[in-house]
């Protein structure tokens, strides 16, 4: 599904990722863990195509196609979804209008018929109910006045609506209390399936108690320095990043 080869990414002329390799096969959930400043968010933005995150070497293959040449909206329409670490507040743009445009842009791209207002509302209500979220969210401006937990749940809601094939969740667990964390985790687990891949980017092992990954990778200094099974997350939690980074360097 996702194959990253020798990825170098510069931000403001400073290289942050120095040759990152990663492969996430269809049907699997992988976690990327790493200390602050290791390049986790840079990886997330590079995958989503944010301006200013320049790929200077290497490539990102998504279902056999190079993502780096695609605009952010093309990636989204191809099925790549990034849940933001800090979802953006956009005053004046109503959630429902925005999301209907997004959903229909994706559907058009897939050759599906667009949803009319009633069909969209029906689908949105159904997903909101499953996420135990208030329908009023639809008529509010995007993320404006939302609590941290609401913003993260709104990301999960949008993810459900857009039905991606590759979901990248950037620290979606940060700043959540345990109840919100469980809701988010259930939201992610519900998306697990044979035709999808999920990449969880996180600093803490906590989320991985609820969303058990198939593989765990340690990102440090702009590279993947170690990969392993789900037990690697527990090892990191017990020993801390410093030991693992030191051992890998040795």
Q: Which residues bind other proteins (CB under 8 A)?
A: 48-51, 71-73, 75-77, 81-82, 84, 87-88, 90-93, 97-99, 101-103, 105-106, 109, 141-142, 158, 162
Instruction: Kindly tell me which of 45 and 241 has the beta carbon lying closer to other proteins.
Output: 45
Could you tell me the smallest distance in angstroms from the CB atom of residue 176 to other proteins?
20
Could you tell me the smallest distance in angstroms from the CB atom of residue 82 to other proteins?
6
Could you tell me the smallest distance in angstroms from the CB atom of residue 206 to other proteins?
26
Chain center to CA of 205: 16
Could you tell me the smallest distance in angstroms from the CB atom of residue 220 to other proteins?
26
Report which of 41, 4, 2 is spatially closest to residue 171, judged by C-alpha positions: 41
Instruction: Kindly tell me which of 106 and 185 has the beta carbon lying closer to other proteins.
Output: 106
Could you tell me the smallest distance in angstroms from the CB atom of residue 71 to other proteins?
7
Instruction: Kindly tell me which of 85 and 202 has the beta carbon lying closer to other proteins.
Output: 85
Instruction: Kindly tell me which of 88 and 249 has the beta carbon lying closer to other proteins.
Output: 88
Instruction: Kindly tell me which of 34 and 164 has the beta carbon lying closer to other proteins.
Output: 164
Could you tell me the smallest distance in angstroms from the CB atom of residue 76 to other proteins?
4
Instruction: Kindly tell me which of 39 and 49 has the beta carbon lying closer to other proteins.
Output: 49
């Amino acid at each position: 599904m996702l194959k990253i080869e020798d990825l170098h990414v510069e931000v403001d002329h400073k290289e942050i990722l120095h040759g990152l390799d990663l492969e996430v096969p269809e049907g699997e959930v992988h976690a990327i863990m790493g200390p602050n400043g290791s390049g986790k968010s840079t990886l997330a933005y590079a995958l989503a195509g944010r301006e200013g995150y320049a790929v200077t070497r290497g490539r990102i293959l998504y279902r056999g196609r190079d993502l780096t040449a695609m605009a952010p909206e093309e990636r989204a329409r191809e099925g790549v979804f990034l849940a933001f670490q800090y979802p953006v507040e956009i005053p004046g743009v109503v959630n429902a209008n925005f999301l209907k445009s997004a959903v229909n842009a994706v559907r058009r791209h897939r050759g599906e018929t667009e949803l009319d207002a009633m069909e969209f509302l029906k689908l949105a209500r159904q997903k909101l109910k499953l996420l135990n979220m208030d329908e009023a969210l639809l008529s509010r401006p995007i993320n404006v006045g939302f609590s941290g937990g609401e913003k993260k749940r709104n990301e999960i809601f949008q993810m459900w609506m857009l039905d991606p094939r590759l979901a990248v969740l950037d620290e979606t667990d940060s700043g959540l209390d345990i109840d919100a964390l469980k809701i988010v985790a259930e939201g992610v687990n519900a998306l697990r399936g044979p035709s999808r891949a999920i990449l969880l980017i996180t600093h803490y092992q906590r989320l991985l108690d609820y969303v058990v990954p198939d593989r765990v990778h340690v990102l440090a200094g702009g590279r993947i320095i170690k990969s392993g099974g789900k037990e690697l997350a527990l090892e990191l939690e017990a020993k801390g990043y410093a030991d693992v980074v030191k051992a890998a360097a040795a």
